[in-house]
Structure 1
Amino acid sequence: MSHFNHKHTTFLNTPSESKMKNIHILAIPYPAQGHVIPLMEASRCFTNNGLKVTFVNTDFTHKRVMSACSQIDGPSNHLMRMVSIPDGMEPCDDRSDIGKLTKTMFERMPAKLEELINDINKNDDDHIMCIVADYYMGWVVRVARKMGIRLASFCPSSAAVSAVIMSVQKLMDDEVINCNGVPMKDQMIQLSNSMPFMDPRNFIWACIGDSTTNKIIFDFIVLEGKEAADYIICNSTMELEPGAFALFPKLLPVGPLLATNRSARQVGHFWNEDSTCLAWLDQQPICSVIYLAFGSFTVFDQRQFEELALGLEDTKRPFLWVVRPGTSDSMDYVYPSGYMDRLGTRGKMVSWAPQQEVLNHPSVACFVSHCGWNSTMEGVSNGVPFLCWPYFADQFFNKTYICDIWKTGLGLNKNDTSIVTRGEIKSKVEQLLDNDLIKENALNLQEKVMDCVRAGNSSNKHLNKFIDWVKEETS
């Protein structure tokens, strides 16, 4: 397979060639939906500040992104091009097997990335001056060091997750985890007095899958390149995570990274957005709609799916529900008998939604979420209260932020058979929507967070600091 050819290269809204020379950076995300979108948003911030970006997806991800988005808007996107390299897996391999995907990428992608950079650098006026690599692509450290290119990391998760990874040695020294990352104590811990308590069983590498997968994630993501970058830029704000940023000044909050900050359309999706839901929302009363979306990884079994469907029916409220089709190894979900007839127009189901626009819609009352960090930032940025239903990885800690620290939401609890029942769903929706304090907290936090990106304020200053750093040795 060719590592770099024209059929895998896409220029975004390319106008006539610019006469000025732009500093060239390469951005490379982990090939997951929640990683591609925020790094794409960061890259668009870079191009808006005059930097040129080559955005490197895997071949598999590149095809999905480009098929879901035929055109990228924005005044500076002639400075961004999309390219791809192989992830090392076969076309028929299951890329939802995170352990196998991660291990294969770490073994096979470094050589392909080096070839790509050498091809780009053949043009003396187009050299890659800096690499911005996803925090979960630690193997890029080897490539950057070998080629003498400066490296920054991008954290698509909370700053707290970065802080945990940067504290791994201390966690081992304190016997919180062993040398394989396995928790040794059944107790909550704090990284510092200014940070919330954490459950080691919910560390990013400890709850991804089975023990083999967890070990792969620990070895190839956590240990590989956790301290090599000069800067780690984060899709977060000082207001949301002051403790993490105080503990590690290397972390630069530049968030929230939202397309709506630029009155633009979000890009980087793996699926086509169904915008018909916006017209449906227009027909609903203000603050009436329950919005449900569980990201790109969450999978319910049929029993849980039915219980959720019936719980929504029992609320008697309008709802917009993002229901992704079943995976290749499972059947699509089946709704309870007569469900659609009973709902009529009160429920709207879509396979993928323009989430930032949905959350910004005045009809939305609350967000039932898996608490992925992108969704968390988008909900916070729109002042929407949460019902938290984490699935894996950092989502459990994000729930802690929402429910216990920011107090902008409630958690959904499972019963003895690990099911969130229809009664629990109905009860928690009522509790949330009757709680004026949570609504007030959500709106107050929205104001603080969105203030960070305004000119001269913290996230804006940190973004400018990073861009100045990229430029300083090339001027």
Structure 2
Amino acid sequence: MSKAHVIMLPFPAQGHVTPLMELSHRLVDHGFEVTFVNTEMHHARVLRALPAAAAVLGGIHLASIPDGLANDEDRSDVNKLTDSCRRHMPGNLERLVAEMEAAGRPKVRWLVGDLTAGFCFEAVKKLGIRVASLWPASAACLAAMLNIPKLIDEGLFGDHGWPERDETLQLGPGMPPLQTSLMPWMDKTGVPIAHPALFEVFSRINKFNEFAEVVVCNSFHEAETGAFPDILAIGPLFADRKPVGHLLPEDERCIKWLDGHPDRSVVYVAFGSMAIFDPRELEELADGLELTGRPFLWVVRPDFTLASARRGSTSSGNASLARA
């Protein structure tokens, strides 16, 4: 009897790829056949970043679909990327499923899909594939996203995520109060991050969940009491040092430095795979970190600043700035 075949579908960003890859390893351990589907650009980056002994993927099949953008288009423009993925990925995923089955792969039984890529759920349901939705961050953050339509109806937010009133709200019993100016889709000043296409996806997450039989979250009950009425907690996910789909090769020169410090003494700083900083902001962050007087490890991408992003970077990996 063949193994049950599961497709894993992350949104194309590092913080979404990693938890789905960690879950993929767990599913393989439990006897599932797993196909991990990245966009073509991220698929190529994952392959380049894999260690030479790629067999350590342990049975996870890597596949790709187009995101709808040309090779030279700017994927750091989250609005453009999200809009293109929303329009092109569902049809491309359907074609991939058909191609795999035509090539003799087992029939796909389940899609475990990132909720931020939930625009693909309806397409696979039409193919008879069952859907489990996964939120890669906290349950409290997911609760905020699920409540966006209700919060708009109540007049707390406009259609594009702007707060209409400066108020404190509570999304559920046992959850901490939230300021309308400090919701997950905003920056620290209370202004919606300038990605209307991404906010539109967030506001439709409750609709995406209608296609899912189960909603799972990379968190655990003890960390977020009161945030799990209809969410299955499966976190924290980890991979026992197996590859987790890094988009850039890891800089391991920091390991010896880390080993020389006591447990829980180092501040870890990272801003994800898309954030771009002005060079002056970079300098101020560095000054602030040094003023703490604490040792810190700061992950810095080749295109981390606005200047390097504009001129392009020849570096192929993540640099780690370590200060004692």
Structure 1 length as normaliser, TM-score?
0.60
Residues 156-165 or 48-57, more deviating: 156-165
**DSSP-derived class of the 2:219 partner:** coil
Question: Residues 274-423 of structure 1 correspond to what in structure 2 (within 5 A)?
Answer: 274-284=251-261, 288-314=265-291, 318-327=295-304, 330-331=307-308, 351-352=318-319
1:321, distance to aligned residue in structure 2 (A):
2.9
1:231 matched residue in structure 2: 214
Letter of the structure 2 residue corresponding to residue 240 of structure 1? A
Q: Any conservation in 1 of the 2:8–2:34 contact (CA below 8 Å)? A: yes
Residues 292-301 or 86-95, more deviating: 292-301
1:203 aligns to 2:183 (yes or no): yes
Q: Any conservation in 2 of the 1:30–1:134 contact (CA below 8 Å)? A: yes
For 1:116 and 1:149, how far apart are their aligned partners in 2?
Answer: 13
Correspondence for 1:243 among 208, 226, 230:
226
2:5 matched residue in structure 1: 24
**DSSP-derived class of the 2:70 partner:** coil
Q: Any conservation in 1 of the 2:186–2:193 contact (CA below 8 Å)? A: no
For 1:296 and 1:31, how far apart are their aligned partners in 2?
Answer: 10
For 2:83 and 2:35, how far apart are their aligned partners in 1?
Answer: 24
Q: Any conservation in 2 of the 1:152–1:230 contact (CA below 8 Å)? A: yes
Change in CA separation of 1:126 and 1:176 when aligned onto 2, cut-off 3 Å: same
Q: Any conservation in 2 of the 1:160–1:244 contact (CA below 8 Å)? A: yes
Change in CA separation of 1:285 and 1:46 when aligned onto 2, cut-off 3 Å: closer
Letter of the structure 2 residue corresponding to residue 228 of structure 1? F
Correspondence for 2:125 among 133, 141, 145:
145
1:188, distance to aligned residue in structure 2 (A):
1.6
2:115 matched residue in structure 1: 135
Change in CA separation of 1:205 and 1:265 when aligned onto 2, cut-off 3 Å: same
Structure with the higher helix share, 1 or 2: 1
Q: Any conservation in 1 of the 2:162–2:191 contact (CA below 8 Å)? A: no
For 1:255 and 1:193, how far apart are their aligned partners in 2?
Answer: 21
1:33, distance to aligned residue in structure 2 (A):
0.4
**DSSP-derived class of the 2:220 partner:** coil
**DSSP-derived class of the 1:126 partner:** coil
Give unmatched runs, 5+ long, in structure 1.
1-19, 333-349, 359-363, 366-475
Q: Any conservation in 2 of the 1:69–1:267 contact (CA below 8 Å)? A: no
Higher relative contact order (CA 8 A, sep 6+): 2
For 2:258 and 2:172, how far apart are their aligned partners in 1?
Answer: 43
Aligned-residue RMSD, C-alpha: 3.0
1:179, distance to aligned residue in structure 2 (A):
4.0
Deviation per residue, 1:395-449 (Å, 9 max, x gap)? xxxxxxxxxxxxxxxxxxxxxxxxxxxxxxxxxxxxxxxxxxxxxxxxxxxxxxx
1:120, distance to aligned residue in structure 2 (A):
1.7
Residues 319-328 or 56-65, more deviating: 319-328
1:244, distance to aligned residue in structure 2 (A):
1.0
Look at both structures and tell me which one has the larger radius of gyration over its CA atoms.
1
1:36 matched residue in structure 2: 17
1:67, distance to aligned residue in structure 2 (A):
0.7
1:323, distance to aligned residue in structure 2 (A):
2.5
1:173 aligns to 2:150 (yes or no): no
Question: Residues 212-227 of structure 1 correspond to what in structure 2 (within 5 A)?
Answer: 213-223=194-204, 225-227=208-210
1:406 matched residue in structure 2: none
Question: Residues 33-182 of structure 1 correspond to what in structure 2 (within 5 A)?
Answer: 33-70=14-51, 71-72=53-54, 77-78=58-59, 80-122=60-102, 126-182=106-162
**DSSP-derived class of the 1:225 partner:** helix
2:312 matched residue in structure 1: none
**DSSP-derived class of the 1:139 partner:** helix
For 2:264 and 2:141, how far apart are their aligned partners in 1?
Answer: 33
Change in CA separation of 1:93 and 1:193 when aligned onto 2, cut-off 3 Å: same
Change in CA separation of 1:91 and 1:237 when aligned onto 2, cut-off 3 Å: same
**DSSP-derived class of the 1:142 partner:** helix
**DSSP-derived class of the 2:25 partner:** helix
Change in CA separation of 1:307 and 1:83 when aligned onto 2, cut-off 3 Å: same
2:313 matched residue in structure 1: none
**DSSP-derived class of the 2:223 partner:** coil
Change in CA separation of 1:306 and 1:242 when aligned onto 2, cut-off 3 Å: same
Change in CA separation of 1:204 and 1:317 when aligned onto 2, cut-off 3 Å: closer
For 1:158 and 1:283, how far apart are their aligned partners in 2?
Answer: 31
1:292, distance to aligned residue in structure 2 (A):
3.1
Q: Any conservation in 2 of the 1:132–1:151 contact (CA below 8 Å)? A: yes
Give unmatched runs, 5+ long, in structure 2.
310-316
Q: Any conservation in 1 of the 2:133–2:209 contact (CA below 8 Å)? A: no
1:227, distance to aligned residue in structure 2 (A):
3.2
For 1:313 and 1:329, how far apart are their aligned partners in 2?
Answer: 22
For 2:318 and 2:254, how far apart are their aligned partners in 1?
Answer: 11
Structure 2 length as normaliser, TM-score?
0.85
Q: Any conservation in 1 of the 2:19–2:218 contact (CA below 8 Å)? A: yes
Percent identity between matched residues is 39
**DSSP-derived class of the 1:152 partner:** strand
Residues 158-167 or 311-320, more deviating: 311-320
2:247 matched residue in structure 1: 270
1:212, distance to aligned residue in structure 2 (A):
9.1
Change in CA separation of 1:185 and 1:92 when aligned onto 2, cut-off 3 Å: same
Change in CA separation of 1:81 and 1:31 when aligned onto 2, cut-off 3 Å: same
1:314, distance to aligned residue in structure 2 (A):
4.7
**DSSP-derived class of the 2:140 partner:** helix
